[in-house]
């Protein structure tokens, strides 16, 4: 059916968490859509990165799922929606009857809307389990944990707007915004630099961010290229430098004594933790000259307004919570929280990773991060929902995968691809084969869909409406263009049908706005919002009352902790679970690139993005290349204790000697076949950023030919 609406539709880019506005122009036929710039979009002012500009290329891709599929005798066949729904309901009821509700796991998705994730977690809890999680567990769970514990909210303390206008020092640790958040880099960071701000980047890998800030002939910008897994000793050296200078010259104000005294607790614990700390030894362990660390410490401590930006290079460690806590320590002792241009600010990787957490798609919290084991919070939500919520936290997604075939007998997966996204991916696939029943709800036949018993064809980002929440807490509306394939259904429609068939009530919603109205009742930070008020600008949470404009920055007067104080907690170095040895002499670390996105489900199907970056690669330092006989552009086998991949070598000084770096985006050569699934004990996030590895030439891989998907 041809489109009746010829006007371009304003919506939000489906890729990273910056939340850029774009317009989609419908064509003569459904699916014939093209990108158009939204010139006055509130976040990006019409600018867009290569992924955003290519986003419409996958809306009507030939690989789209168009009909429900049911597996019989190991093969998929087309089925009606009625048959698919009946099979799902029968199996969910059987598993609950035979094994109990905790035998099921539910995976939400940060590529879907707030309303859809809200319904998924509500469905899981009505089923009787808190075993519901989303991909935040894989990227920022440790950040959420540390920020909630020590400051109050698991989100950016500030907005991109006030940071651009007020920040003097931009401390970027474990993040690469020039590639992972390009419009944040160009619209905000670069503008702040042009106004005189200094950038200090802490990362094992020199990258486009490193290069993008060499924009003048001054020597004020720094790249502290540390060894993977040494963020704590580096930050401890920075903090110790600040503390020692303050003790010698308190009049210089490197420690904000008034702020520490009035607004924080735990300063003495930090001092005690660092008593006798050897900054020279720490610098040597990090592989960063001590004088560079001291210069960075002075720049941050003496800035009028200093802001920390943190990323997965900090969070994806077995000590991820402590990594982020040390960033919080640095901000608190210098008073760099609670005003414009400061704070601790995680850069979210997916367009709705913040919102997916906000609405409660996690095993330990309900909407608005209310703990499931808090009787008062649980009762307030139960009063709206009309059923009891389990009072014990459930399993995280990695824990669910670990238990597949044991205590976990079934999975309901909406818009996620854990076979590629979870660490030690080969073992994940082995465990999924033991499951009794798997539902996959997606737009493409992912690697995970191969393990499904029922596949449900969902609509794409351009075909449905709802809200998403970007990296600085701005809730925005996505608006539909038109449906492309007649027999696909919106995620919201599917979840309402499954919920109604299972439970009879509580899932009778026709439109996203109706779901949002219920979400507002159980999510105090969203209470003052409405679809009409969101408009084209969106609103930052918290927005408690109608008419409230939302907060651009948090904690102006107090922190959202029990006593209103920010928590300073001294931390000690914890090396990675795997360190190099004779068998695996290199450190493997991973990261994303500008042209692709997560497991590549969408981006590797884009002709534009594949033309620019058609396959995976591994960065190798020239000294290591010479040691192992690796030539630039040669295909090599990269191996860890968990598996191996075949990739093209890129010999470069961007990486430190003894370290290799690759990406997770390409199916046949995905980094997560190699990464370690050891977890941070508190946040349960895997250690993607450090694993022992080796590299060899002249060997055939067990993988397929070099990936070009």
CATH number for the domain running over 586-697: 2.40.40.20
- The tokens describing 552, both together, are 């651009």
pLDDT band at 706 (very low <50, low <70, confident <90, very high): very low
What stretch(es) of the chain map to CATH 3.40.50.740?
69-138+357-462+482-507
pLDDT above 90 covers a percentage of the chain that reads 92
What stretch(es) of the chain map to CATH 2.20.25.90?
9-58
Which residues, other chains included, contact 411 with Cβ-Cβ below 8 Å and sequence gap of 6+?
104, 105, 106, 107, 400, 404, 432, 435, 437, 438, 439
What stretch(es) of the chain map to CATH 2.40.40.20?
586-697
Contact 648, 634 (CB under 8 A): yes
What stretch(es) of the chain map to CATH 3.40.228.10?
141-346
Q: Parallel, antiparallel, or unpaired: how do β-strands 586-590 and 691-697 relate?
A: antiparallel
Superfamily per CATH, domain 141-346: Dimethylsulfoxide Reductase, domain 2 (3.40.228.10)
472-505 in b/e burial notation, b at 16+ Cβ within 10 A? Answer: bbbbbbbebbbbbbeebbbbbbbbbbbbbbbeee
In the chain, what's the furthest Cα-to-Cα distance? 77
**pLDDT per position as a tens digit, 20-66:** 999 999 988 888 899 999 999 999 999 999 999 999 999 999 999 99
Arithmetic mean of pLDDT, 517-539: 96
CATH number for the domain running over 9-58: 2.20.25.90
**pLDDT per position as a tens digit, 260-291:** 999 999 999 999 999 999 999 999 999 999 99
Residue 580 CA: distances (Å) to CA of 320, 383, 640: 20, 54, 11
Residue 83 CA: distances (Å) to CA of 80, 89, 485: 5, 10, 19
**pLDDT for the residue 164:** 87
**pLDDT per position as a tens digit, 608-638:** 999 999 999 999 999 999 999 999 999 999 9
**pLDDT per position as a tens digit, 321-331:** 999 999 999 99
Indicate whether 85 pLDDT > 60.
Answer: yes
Question: 């884009």: which residue's tokens?
Answer: 606
pLDDT band at 140 (very low <50, low <70, confident <90, very high): confident
- SS3 of residue 345 by DSSP: strand
**pLDDT per position as a tens digit, 176-231:** 999 999 999 999 999 999 999 999 999 999 999 999 887 444 578 999 999 999 99
**pLDDT for the residue 705:** 34
Arithmetic mean of pLDDT, 676-690: 95
Under DSSP, the state recorded for 9 is E
**pLDDT for the residue 432:** 97
pLDDT above 70 covers a percentage of the chain that reads 97
**pLDDT for the residue 29:** 84
Residue 523 CA: distances (Å) to CA of 330, 355, 365, 366: 31, 11, 11, 9
For the four alpha carbons of 139, 145, 151 and 152, in that order, the dihedral sign comes to positive
Cβ atoms within 10 A of the Cβ of 672, count? Answer: 26
Cβ atoms within 10 A of the Cβ of 705, count? Answer: 12
Mean of all residue pLDDT scores within the chain: 94
Q: Strand runs (DSSP E) across 281-397, as ranges?
A: 306-310, 344-346, 365-366, 370-371
**pLDDT per position as a tens digit, 306-361:** 999 999 999 999 999 999 999 999 999 999 999 999 999 999 989 999 999 999 99
**pLDDT for the residue 1:** 39
**pLDDT for the residue 135:** 86
Q: What share of the chain is helix, strand, coil (3-state, %, to 5)?
A: 35, 20, 45
Fold for the domain defined by 69-138+357-462+482-507: Rossmann fold (3.40.50)
**pLDDT for the residue 218:** 59
**pLDDT for the residue 30:** 83
Indicate whether 704 pLDDT > 80.
Answer: no
């Amino acid at each position: 059916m041809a489109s009746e609406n010829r006007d371009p539709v304003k919506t939000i880019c489906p890729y990273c968490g910056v939340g850029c506005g774009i317009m989609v122009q419908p064509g003569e036929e459904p699916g014939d859509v093209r990108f158009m710039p939204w010139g006055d979009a509130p976040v990006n002012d019409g600018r867009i990165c290569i992924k955003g500009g290519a986003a419409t290329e996958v809306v009507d891709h030939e690989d789209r799922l168009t009909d429900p599929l049911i597996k019989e005798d190991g093969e998929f066949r087309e089925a009606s929606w009625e048959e698919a729904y009946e099979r799902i309901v029968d199996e969910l009821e059987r598993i609950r009857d035979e094994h109990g509700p905790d035998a099921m796991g539910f995976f939400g998705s940060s590529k879907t809307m707030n309303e859809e994730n809200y319904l998924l977690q509500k469905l899981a809890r009505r089923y009787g389990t808190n075993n519901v999680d989303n991909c935040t567990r894989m990227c920022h769970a440790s950040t959420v944990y540390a920020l909630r514990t020590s400051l109050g909210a698991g989100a950016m303390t500030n907005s991109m707007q006030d940071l651009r206008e007020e920040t003097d020092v931009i401390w970027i640790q474990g993040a690469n915004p020039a590639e992972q958040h390009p419009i944040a880099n160009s619209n905000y960071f670069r503008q702040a630099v042009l106004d005189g701000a200094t950038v200090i980047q802490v990362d094992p890998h020199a990258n486009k961010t490193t290069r993008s800030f060499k924009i003048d002939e001054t020597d004020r910008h720094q790249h502290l290229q540390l060894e993977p897994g040494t963020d704590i000793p580096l930050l401890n050296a920075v903090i110790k430098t600040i503390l020692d200078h303050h003790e010698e010259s308190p009049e210089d104000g490197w420690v904000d004594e008034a702020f520490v005294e009035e607004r924080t607790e735990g300063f003495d614990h930090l001092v005690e933790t660092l008593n006798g700390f050897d900054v020279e030894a720490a610098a040597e362990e990090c592989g960063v000259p001590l004088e560079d660390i001291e210069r960075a410490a002075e720049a941050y401590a003496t800035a009028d307004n200093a802001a920390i930006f943190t990323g997965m290079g900090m969070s994806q460690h077995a000590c991820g919570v402590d990594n982020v806590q040390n960033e919080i320590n640095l901000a608190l002792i210098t008073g760099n929280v609670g005003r414009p241009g400061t704070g601790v600010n995680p850069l979210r990787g997916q367009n709705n990773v913040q919102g997916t957490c906000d609405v409660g798609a996690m095993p330990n919290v309900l909407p608005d991060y209310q703990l499931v084991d808090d009787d008062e919070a649980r009762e307030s939500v139960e009063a709206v929902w009309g059923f009891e919520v389990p009072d014990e936290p459930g399993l995280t997604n990695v824990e669910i995968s670990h238990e597949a075939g044991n205590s976990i007998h079934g999975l309901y997966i909406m818009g996620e691809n854990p076979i590629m996204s979870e660490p030690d991916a080969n073992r994940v696939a082995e465990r999924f084969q033991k499951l009794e029943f798997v539902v996959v709800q997606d737009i493409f036949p992912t690697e995970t869909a191969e393990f499904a018993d029922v596949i449900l064809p969902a609509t794409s980002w351009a075909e449905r409406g709802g809200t998403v929440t970007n990296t600085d807490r701005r809730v925005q509306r996505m608006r539909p263009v038109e449906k492309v394939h007649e027999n696909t259904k919106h995620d919201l429609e599917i979840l309402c049908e499954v919920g109604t068939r299972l439970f009879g009530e509580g899932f009778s919603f026709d439109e996203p706005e109706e779901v949002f109205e219920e979400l507002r009742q159980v999510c105090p930070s969203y209470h003052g919002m409405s679809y009409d008020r969101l408009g084209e600008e969106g609103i930052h949470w918290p927005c408690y009352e109608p008419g409230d404009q939302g907060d651009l920055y948090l904690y102006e007067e107090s922190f959202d902790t029990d006593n209103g104080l920010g928590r300073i907690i001294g931390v000690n170095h914890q090396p990675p679970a795997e360190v190099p040895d004779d068998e695996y002499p290199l450190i493997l670390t991973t990261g994303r690139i500008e042209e692709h996105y997560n497991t590549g489900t969408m981006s590797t199907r884009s002709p534009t993005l594949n033309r620019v970056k058609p396959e995976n690669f591994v960065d190798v330092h020239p000294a290591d290349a010479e040691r192992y006989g690796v030539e630039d552009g040669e295909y090599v086998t990269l191996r860890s204790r968990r598996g191996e991949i075949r990739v093209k070598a890129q010999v470069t000084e961007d990486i430190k000697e003894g370290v290799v770096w690759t990406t997770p985006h390409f199916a046949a050569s995905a980094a997560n076949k190699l990464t370690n699934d050891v977890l941070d004990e508190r946040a349960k996030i895997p250690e993607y950023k450090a694993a022992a590895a080796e590299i060899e030439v002249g060997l055939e891989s067990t993988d397929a030919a070099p990936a070009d998907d």
